[in-house]
Amino acid sequence: MSQVAAEVRHLYFSYNEQPVLEDVSFQVEKGDFLAIIGPNGGGKSTLLKLMMGILKPDRGEVLLFGKPPRTSGAVIGYVPQETGHNLDFPITVLDVVLMGVLHRRNLLRRYDGDLRKKALDALEKVKMDQFSDRRIAELSGGQRQRVLIARALCSDPDILMLDEPTASIDFNGQHEIFELLEILNKTMTVIVVSHDMSMVMGYARHAAYVNKTVVMHTIDPHTRYQIKHELEGHEGHYCGAEFWQDMGRKIECTEECKHA
Ligand SMILES: Nc1ncnc2c1ncn2[C@@H]1O[C@H](COP(=O)(O)OP(=O)(O)OP(=O)(O)O)[C@@H](O)[C@H]1O
């Protein structure tokens, strides 16, 4: 298998002739931890969907391990943006994860013990096995997100793709999610859309800044180490302006920013 997990080549995409991505090219090495960052509406979720093969490019191509997404044989674990819908639905944590297992098998087949074990193993990996019988609605945002990650892990993915897994989660919950992603990254490539610059700078190795085009940045290991250290002391705040300053650009903090 190619050591390049994902390659995007001269990709163009538009919705209803409205261009969203233009001439986007970059590579993601196997085992990388890539953060996709950028302004609202910049095209981050669209890029993720193109990389999974859910959307088709107008021009250009996406290759996963050297082949188009649908024929590559690469398994993608996808954690979509959580919308908070269906929280009233009386479904348990285990049921949610089992959906991930059933997805791989014949949907009409009843699940047996093995599938249940697979789902419980996935819950253990995200430290949510104690909650398997709880209703999903009873969990905190961070716990729910970990359950959605467990669901994605059931397919034993080569690449785990997450769309804003820490949106509207408190600091501790965010930190736990990124700690978990760091552990998972030991055995799979991780690609995460995130607005949280502190977490991105503390954990990701590369950042793709998406705003119609994509600019790729390497996060230097020393900066990552320092920021992670600050995060562990719960004093972490790293704003977008600092990211650009670290990347060598002169940008002032905004008024809302705690550094201003
Ligand atoms: N299904 C769709 N049909 C038409 N336009 C869409 C569709 N999905 C997204 N768009 C538009 O495409 C652009 C990029 O959207 P996308 O969701 O990829 O951005 P994003 O960077 O993920 O944004 P956010 O940070 O707000 O989630 C936006 O202008 C959005 O309104």
The predicted-structure confidence for 166-185, as pLDDT tens digits, reads as follows 887 888 888 899 999 999 99
Structure letter (DSSP) for residue 259: T
- Ligand 1 pocket test: which of 18, 37, 46 has the largest number of ligand atoms within 8 Å of its C-beta? 46
pLDDT at residue 23 tops 70? yes
Backbone angles phi, psi at 87, to 5 degrees: -70, -20
**Under DSSP, is residue 6 helix (H, G, I), strand (E, B) or coil?**
strand
Contact indicator for 81, 57 with CB cutoff of 8 Å = no
Q: Supply the residue whose CA is at minimum distance from atom 9 of ligand 1.
A: 46
Mean pLDDT estimate for the chain: 85
- Ligand 1 pocket test: which of 12, 15, 21 has the largest number of ligand atoms within 8 Å of its C-beta? 15
- CA 25 to ligand 1 centroid distance, Å: 19
Q: Supply the residue whose CA is at minimum distance from atom 1 of ligand 1.
A: 15
pLDDT at residue 12 tops 90? yes
| CA quadruple 186, 3, 196, 245: dihedral sign | positive
d(CA 110, CA 106): 9
How far, in whole angstroms, is CA 65 from its chain's centroid?
A: 18
How far, in whole angstroms, is CA 101 from its chain's centroid?
A: 19
pLDDT for res 101 = 73
252 Cβ contact list (under 8 Å, min separation 6): 241
38-59: average pLDDT: 93
- Residue 156 region, left (φ>0) first, then alpha (ψ -120 to 50), else beta? left
- CA 22 to ligand 1 centroid distance, Å: 14
Note the pTM of the prediction, 2 decimals.
Answer: 0.88
d(CA 41, CA 14): 13
The pLDDT confidence band at residue 107, using thresholds 50, 70 and 90, is very low
- CA 121 to ligand 1 centroid distance, Å: 35
